[in-house]
Structure 1
């Protein structure tokens, strides 16, 4: 497998970063993960915009040009002979001294890598498990997709079957927040519910796309601070992230849910699949 490091294609055995990179030393780095379908990056511009906002929050100076970034990614795809793939576009602070730095980072480390994926699926149902670990609050004003993942790792360690289960975090106040690597949705009486950003969740790109799709299909979408009882009383529950797409939930708190047979899950998956090789952005018409 080949990776791109600062524009140079190298094998995974050749890939190195400095031990003084502050992305390694202090977790000062951000990334986006997305899927490429038949050579097309789904919602690329939205992912790059969120990455740009994260870099600003981390005080990392980098001229992130959407088209140039895609050209570099496409070069990596061609070298690996991938048409359908998981891509991680990672930017860390770059080399600094020992000690915390307050001035802006001017020479970040840019790494693009990934792995091949099937064009479709797998569309596996999952069991949703309520975690004892609570969702930590963002270290800044809002949650960014940064290198800080200990909270999610601790949550995932609670799962007995991590391949077929997803953990659900509550906030310290007891409100539903998100999964270890996903946003959570549920429907009841033709209304689509999802936790609001006030709970400290990541504003997932697929989360935003699903909310847009639901509104276009006539569903009412409500964001808010919800309890476990609210989600447990749902008609359907599903999870979203950019790699697993839309994941139906078949069981939560020992209660069965429609899972993949759910009417709203099927409708949203159809909309997703109808757009994944066309949309560079949610603003595309």
Structure 2
């Protein structure tokens, strides 16, 4: 399997990162995952904008990033070379090597790597089962929580909680006790014909799929609400679902053992939004 590392295409086993790399030592960096079909990534411009925003948050110039055109070419080359019709693409950026200590070098040379893996659609099921994470809370003031930080320990620990409980994923609350998101996706609900999702100030990572869903709802006259909700209040929703840029939209069947609405009978709003999201993620290509 080929990867792209700092301007060079290499076999994965030949890709080497220095022992002094701050991404490895301190989690000093960020990443972005993208979904590609036939070598083309949907929402590439939005992905590049988010990478630039992440760079600004940690004090890096967006000039360190490859251009959107360069990234598109890299992805197409990797997908073709690795024989991938549908792929998960990950761009990882570390601040690079530096002296010992927390403060980064004044003129860093980032490590940038692009990898691909086969894309596997989520298995067909009646819906996801979620549990409420007990060990982790989202913090609106956390830098690592509001970008795709290379330090993903909070999400890993919450995912382990879900696995140990026999659930598909974990619902993570904000520090004030309101609902935030899951370990890998933003959360939405439907109640009385209106869409609901946690506000962006709750410490969530506002995903591209979240923005797309909100914009689609607005364009189709569906009201979107952002008021704080507790896990118990979610069980009163007509429907609950998750959204991210890899797996699209997935209904939630149960939270902490309590059933959610009737996930076997998707609402008209959910069906409409799913069709629009999936069509965009596939670039209009039938797969």
Q: TM-score, normalised by structure 1?
A: 0.90
Q: Is 1:130 aligned to 2:136, yes or no?
A: no
Q: Does 1:167 align with 2:170?
A: yes
- In the alignment, the residues of structure 1 paired with residue 157 and residue 122 of structure 2 have an alpha-carbon distance, to the nearest angstrom, of 27
User: Which stretch shifts more, 150-159 or 252-261?
Assistant: 252-261
Distance 2:249 2:165 in 1: 17
Partners of 1:66 and 1:164 lie apart in 2 by: 38
For structure 1, the 5+ residue unaligned runs are 280-285
My pick for the range that moved more, 58-67 or 231-240, is 58-67
Cα deviation for residue 265 of structure 1 reads 2.5
Please say if 1:267 is aligned against 2:269: no
CA distance in 2, matches of 1:181, 1:254: 20
CA distance in 2, matches of 1:108, 1:8: 14
The CA deviation string for residues 117-175 of structure 1, in whole angstroms up to 9 with x for no partner, is: 24x55444210211112324243397111112111111111123688511001122211
Contact kept? 1:59, 1:105, Cα under 8 Å: no
1:249 corresponding residue in structure 2: 252
Secondary structure in 2 matching 1:13: helix
Secondary structure of 1:202 counterpart: coil
Is 1:76 the counterpart of 2:78 in the alignment?
yes
- Structure 1 pair 89–160 and aligned structure 2 pair: CA distance change class (3 A): closer
Q: How does 1:1-285 map to 2 (within 5 A)?
A: 1-61=1-61, 62-118=64-120, 121-124=122-125, 125-137=127-139, 138-140=141-143, 143-160=146-163, 165-257=168-260, 258-259=262-263, 261-263=265-267, 264-278=269-283
Q: How many residues align?
A: 278
Query: In 2, are the aligned partners of 1:175 and 1:228 still within 8 Å (CA)?
Result: yes
In 2: Cα distance, 1:7 partner to 1:271 partner:
35
CA distances 1:212-266 after superposition (whole Å, capped 9, x unpaired):
1222222101123222233121000001112221111111233323325312322
CA contact (8 A) 2:235 2:259 kept: no
Once residues 130 and 141 of structure 1 are traced to their aligned partners in structure 2, the CA distance between those partners, rounded to angstroms, is 21
SS in structure 2 at match of 1:224: coil
Distance 1:81 1:26 in 2: 34
Deviations 1:95-120 (A, max 9, x none): 111112245443111100021124x5
Q: What CA distance in whole angstroms lies between the structure 1 residues aligned with 2:101 and 2:144?
A: 23
The range that moved more, 160-169 or 109-118, is 160-169
Distance change (3 Å), C-alpha of 1:102 and 1:115: closer
Stretch moving more, 211-220 or 156-165: 156-165
Q: Does the residue aligned with 1:174 lie in a helix, a strand or coil?
A: coil
**Could you tell me how far 1:23 is from its partner in structure 2?**
1.0
Q: Output the CA distance in 1 between the equivalents of 2:144 and 2:102.
A: 19
Counterparts in 2 of 1:63 and 1:134: CA distance versus 1, 3 Å: closer
| Alpha carbons of structure 1 residues 105 and 58: separation in structure 2 relative to 1, 3 Å | farther
| Aligned CA-pair RMSD | 2.1
